[in-house]
Structure 1
Amino acid sequence: MDWIYVVSSVAVAALGIMAMLVGSSHEHDCHYRREALVLLGIYLLVAGLMRLYGTSREATGILSIFFCFSLSSTTVCHFLFHRFLEQRGYYADEKRERRLAG
């Protein structure tokens, strides 16, 4: 195995861990951003480990398809959830509630 391949695989896994750590912090105004970052971090971590263990590129490609599907379905469900709450007068996003209040 080529050294650059190992270094890039470790970098991808480290980037995944970093995305999960950033996503788990409470600095974001909307919990969806945290969910998306944690999901991205899990994907990058698994992709980096799969590359290190010599898994084929096809398997990593299939994993990326599942990642895109899960991220898009999470986005749609989250949007619909917030819309449902707003129709009933509850605003889960504090900044949006302050903007609407004036």
Structure 2
Amino acid sequence: MEEQEEEGSFITLTDDDGNDVSFEVLDTIEYKDRTFSVLLPFDDQDDEVVILEMLFDGEDSEYVDFVSVDDEALIEEVFEEFLKREEEAFSEE
């Protein structure tokens, strides 16, 4: 997926079919030496999040692209980490 624009906690990505899809960025998680973004589709009514891996340029650690994650177990682990972080943040308020 290609990044098009980013404003605050919203981002618009272009999918493989060339369609623009807007997301709310809920969190960015470092997990097992990889970086993932937990995204909520802006127009989706069922509240299912999307977890994409963020790729970085190896030389200067600059963000390069989002890619889908095919490993369902890894997606579940990242989602559990997201829930844990949300619970901790909520309990601090």
**Bigger RCO (CA 8 Å, 6+ sep):** 1
Scaled to the shorter chain, the TM-score interval is 0.3 to 0.5
TM-score by length of 2: 0.36
User: More strand per residue: 1 or 2?
Assistant: 2
Larger Rg: 1
Structure number having the greater helix percentage: 1
